[in-house]
Amino acid sequence: MRLFYKLISQLLIVSMILLPFSTQASMIGTDQAVASAQDLANRDKVRDFVSRGEVVKQFEALGLNASSALDRVNAMTQQEVNQLAGKIDSLPVGADSGWGWAAAVIIIAVVIYLVWYK
């Protein structure tokens, strides 16, 4: 057992002499930490968007499967991901042709008429 301890201690001494001490610890700024977290959130947002059902159907209609679309998102630079995430945020939520609100107004008018006059 004593031979084992001697061998380990000699290995440690040699490694401390031969290996350079290149580790360096420093503080990072809050802006760097927040930017990193925002970059990760943007990449997740784009991945979630690409994984949505209606987007996958649109990709398949264009001849692209979902796994290759996710591979392409993973291959994008961070600047491209941030730009695309900004576009996702600016998209209309329930984008339709405009007939949805007209149908809702007609239904509400009919309900009000039936309740008020009957």
* Model pLDDT for residues 14-71, shown as the tens digit of each residue: 888 877 766 677 787 887 777 788 888 888 888 888 888 888 888 888 787 888 888 8
DSSP-H helix ranges across the chain: 2-18, 30-51, 53-61, 66-75, 78-90, 99-117
In a domain, 79, yes or no: yes
In a domain, 61, yes or no: yes
Q: According to the model, what pLDDT value does residue 110 have? A: 74
Over 70: is that where the pLDDT of 100 sits? no
Q: Of 63, 89, 64, which Cα lies nearest the Cα of 73? A: 64
Tokens of 16: 């401390």
In a domain, 38, yes or no: yes
What is the total count of domains within the chain? 1
Q: According to the model, what pLDDT value does residue 9 have? A: 92
Instruction: Indicate the residue type of 19.
Output: L
In a domain, 48, yes or no: yes
The average confidence (pLDDT) of the chain is 79
Q: Of 58, 44, 56, 57, which Cα lies nearest the Cα of 88? A: 44
Residue 68 belongs to domain spanning:
31-90
